[in-house]
Structure 1
Amino acid sequence: MQVTETKAEGLTREYNVVVAAADIEEKVTTRLAEISKTIKIPGFRPGKVPAKVLRQKYGQSVMGEVLEGAVNESSSKTIADNELRPVAQPKIEITKFEEGADLEYTMSVELFPEFDMMDFKKISLERLVVPVKDEEIDETLQRIADANKDSEAVKSKAKKIAKGNIAVIDFVGSVDGEEFPGGKGEDYPLEIGSNTFIPGFEDQLVGLKVDDEKDVEVKFPEEYGAENLAGKDAVFKCKVKEIRNVVPAEINDDLAKKVGMDSLDALKDAIREERSKEFDQMTRQHVKKHLLDALDDGHAFDLPESLVEGEVEQIWAQFEETRKNNPEQIDESDKDKSDEELKAEYKEIAERRVRLGLVLAEVGRVNEIQLNQDDLNGAIMNEARRYPGQEQAVFEYFKNNPQAIEQLRAPLFEEKVVDFILELAAVTDKEVSADDLLGALNAEEEAEEKPAKKAAAKKKAPAKKKADDKAEGDE
């Protein structure tokens, strides 16, 4: 095998590779000898088929197999001999091959950039922590009680409907005198003041008594889901069948048992634990965002063009899909921009993503951070919890689909690396309210919709050392 480096610019290396015809012929001959032991051809015993017959019948398929193997073997050897770290599969193009002649091909490789990792101990972060207060537990208990309230019929015929009552009604709706699908109901329990019907509907029932009838005139909202009704005037012929008083549920052990808990204290503990998990996830999201910002600011190096281009294509595809199917979700300031302007902005986002991906990957490699089976099992359990009552089906899905498990690896690995860096960084806790934390997250989400302009001004730093050399020196 003869290898000649033809290009060494930035992160790109190109080689011209020649595999001798004699080597290819030797592999073809060896492979034909192997299959002759098992192949069955009429008129010949296994293992006794003449080489000429074998070559005539199977030569082309064997040659294809050998060429593929020769390219894979020689390209892998070229990468190993030159101590290359490709960020993606090399691009290979066969430039010359005829049977009996040398195989020649070109190989283009884009390399993992070499860079100095920042000192993670110098990263300062503020972690917003939300304690679960008793008032929140009480509010949640009240919502549970409201969802489990009961009602009792009013015996007095003189009773008039008031807000807070449940009016059991029959109704038939029409637009321009024509009944419309879904506009009819019988014995429908409508809580007055719940605002579950069209605006103005419930208010017109106030003051009616049992057996009263009334034409309720309303207008469907312009944004109503059914296009044939949106913005239309409608009339609902209503008859009051019954009036019921709401009976609030008491917050006690009986309520707890009604929702599947052993006692009120157990219900409170479950609420506190669930709220803590929600706040912890929000806190994690916030501190991780700021950590990634620090990592992005702390590293500057050449980026593999193929990775950036692939990320840009993915972002652009998502944008075009949104522009086509959900144009209302496009930011107003983006609607007047040309595709070229938008792509330039999205390239900045792509560069940040690629840069962070490479940094996290290198931190994991240098520090030998790996996933174990417990990590994967935990991720599968979390997925199963998202589908109550279908846990076994989720387990079976992952059991029978190894590729689905592989899709869990990348985010799991990222979280492990983030945990590793957070252990080294200077992180201080700050107690805030839930509204404060949610406000901070919303502000960050809005900011992320626009590319960080400072990324465009980021200077490229020379690679003084390999990242692993730097890590060894820090030790």
Structure 2
Amino acid sequence: MNLQTKRINSANASVSGEILLKDLENKLNKIATKISKTVKMDGFRKGKVPLNVVKSRYKENIEQDAQKEAVEEMLQLGLKELQIEPKDVIGDPIITQFDKKDDFILTTIKISLKPSFKLEDVNAYVPDVKLKQITDKEIENRLNDIAKNKAPLIEAKKDKKLAKGDVANIDFEGFINDKSFEGGKAEGFDLTIGSGQFIPGFEDALIGLKIGESKDINVNFPENYQASDLAGKDAVFKVKLNKIQIKDEPKVDDELAKSLLPEEKTPSLATLKEKIKEQLELEAKTKLYNEELKEKLIENFNQKIDFDLPDLIVEQEMDLLFRNSLNTLDPKELKELQSDPKKAQEKRNSFKEEAQKSVKITFIVDFLSKQENISVEDNEVLQTVYYESMMSGQNPKDMIDYYKKNNLFPALKMAMIEDKILAYLLDKKLAKEPKSLKSKEEKPTKKSKTEAK
């Protein structure tokens, strides 16, 4: 086989050799013989089909199987000579040369390996974590907002003009070209002004109305409106204001604390303020982590940790980034790339640096996840997809099926592990800061967005 091996670097190697045609012919005969023993063919008894007939009928498949077997044999011999364990090979080896000569096939196989590196002092790469002090004014403002939201609605006086934040009880009916349309009518409907529950322009046009007054409101349904028969059309809504409800004067006292802290044995306003302070600290920390420190930490890993990357994995990542970019191109640019292979290759190559960074960070995260024993369970990934689908108004089952069909769960799981590890490292750094700057770890809650009606 005249085998030649080369260790390009710690993460890449190659195996070259000559696959003799006589050896390949022996493999072809063995495969054909095996097939002849089980194949059924008209005019022949089972197991009695002549070898030349089998080779003729299944020529292409037999040749492919024989070549595959020969390449695999070369690969295993090469790994043994290179003293590389099969478990250290990452991804599928790629055949970069397969040139047929008179007596042999000159073959080269490229192999990528798991990179080897050390992270002895991870803390050295973690940026300083300095949380801002939460002021008494911020606590009071949040407390007043909570009290206002908790305050009950009361009916406004008859001379009250409708304002933003009020709840308007209205009758309305919509018309397009003087004809009413389905779903455009309601009576006694409660609408919080400024909530964005109705299409743009509707709520603002109601501001200033008094109880008992009516008004015709001209609006335009957005082009992307969910009901296609209404999208982009002009409409007139005839509206009558029946009553106005406003928030009662908010009460900031121990009773408010009792209603908000049912799990506390002796809830008080002081306890509530402490809880609010903790929540504000958490929000400040989450914002700092997500908007600044996590990216700084990733960049530190990328810039300050150097090791060989497996070329084949980088190439795969470049392919992925390139394909994803095509979805964002305008039709003209996409057509240019499709008609010009050179430009398409240049576009793909433009993602090399980003791909290298992505691959490097993935290996570092994988290393840290094992070192720190940090993982994400499959049910956590499912819960994340379920939650995000609910927040975006999509069917959770459809979203989960989409992730399964497109094999997106592994990438999402890795992203979640990465996020978990980065937060863990930043929290460790934060723990070394003065006590006054620390914040309690707690999962932040997301607020749903009210969709346009």
- The TM tier, using the shorter chain, reads 0.5 to 0.7
Distance 2:188 2:296 in 1: 55
Per-residue CA distance 1:374-396 (angstroms, 9 max, x = gap): 74444444444556799995999
Q: How far did residue 425 of structure 1 move? A: 7.2
Kept in 1: contact 2:148–2:247 (CA 8 A): no
Query: Which residue in 2 is equivalent to 1:451?
Result: none
Residue correspondence of structure 1 range 45-444 to structure 2 within 5 A: 45-82=45-82, 89-96=93-100, 102-108=104-110, 119-123=121-125, 125-129=127-131, 135=140, 138=143, 141-142=146-147, 144-145=149-150, 149-152=152-155, 159-163=158-162, 166-171=167-172, 186-190=187-191, 198=202, 201-206=205-210, 209-210=211-212, 212-213=213-214, 215=215, 227-229=232-234, 237-242=238-243, 281-282=286-287, 284-285=289-290, 286-300=292-306, 321-322=327-328, 324=330, 347=350, 350-351=352-353, 354-355=356-357, 357-358=359-360, 361=363, 364=366, 369=371, 375-386=377-388, 403=407, 405-412=409-416, 414=418, 418=422, 428-429=432-433
Distance 1:200 1:416 in 2: 43
Q: How far did residue 275 of structure 1 move? A: 7.3
Q: How far did residue 17 of structure 1 move? A: 2.4
With structure 1 as the length reference, what TM-score do the two structures score?
0.57
Q: How far did residue 96 of structure 1 move? A: 0.9
Distance 2:173 2:26 in 1: 87
Kept in 1: contact 2:162–2:244 (CA 8 A): no
Q: How far did residue 351 of structure 1 move? A: 2.0
RMSD: 6.0
Q: Which secondary structure does the structure 2 equivalent of 1:94 belong to?
A: strand
Compared CA separation, residues 22 and 425, structure 1 to 2 (3 A) = farther
Distance 1:172 1:95 in 2: 76
Q: Which runs of 5+ in 2 are unaligned?
A: 226-230, 332-342, 440-453
Q: Which secondary structure does the structure 1 equivalent of 2:414 belong to?
A: helix
Compared CA separation, residues 166 and 367, structure 1 to 2 (3 A) = closer
With structure 2 as the length reference, what TM-score do the two structures score?
0.59
Q: How far did residue 354 of structure 1 move? A: 1.5
Q: Between the two proteins, what is the percent identity of the paired residues?
A: 19
Q: Which amino acid aligns with 2:411?
A: Q
Kept in 2: contact 1:162–1:192 (CA 8 A): no
Distance 1:316 1:56 in 2: 42
Q: How far did residue 104 of structure 1 move? A: 3.1
Distance 1:387 1:318 in 2: 21
Larger RCO: Structure 1 or Structure 2 (Cα < 8 Å, ≥ 6 residues apart)? 1
Per-residue CA distance 1:238-286 (angstroms, 9 max, x = gap): 44444556567987699779xxx88996xx7999998787666545534
Q: Which runs of 5+ in 1 are unaligned?
A: 326-339, 435-475
Compared CA separation, residues 65 and 244, structure 1 to 2 (3 A) = same
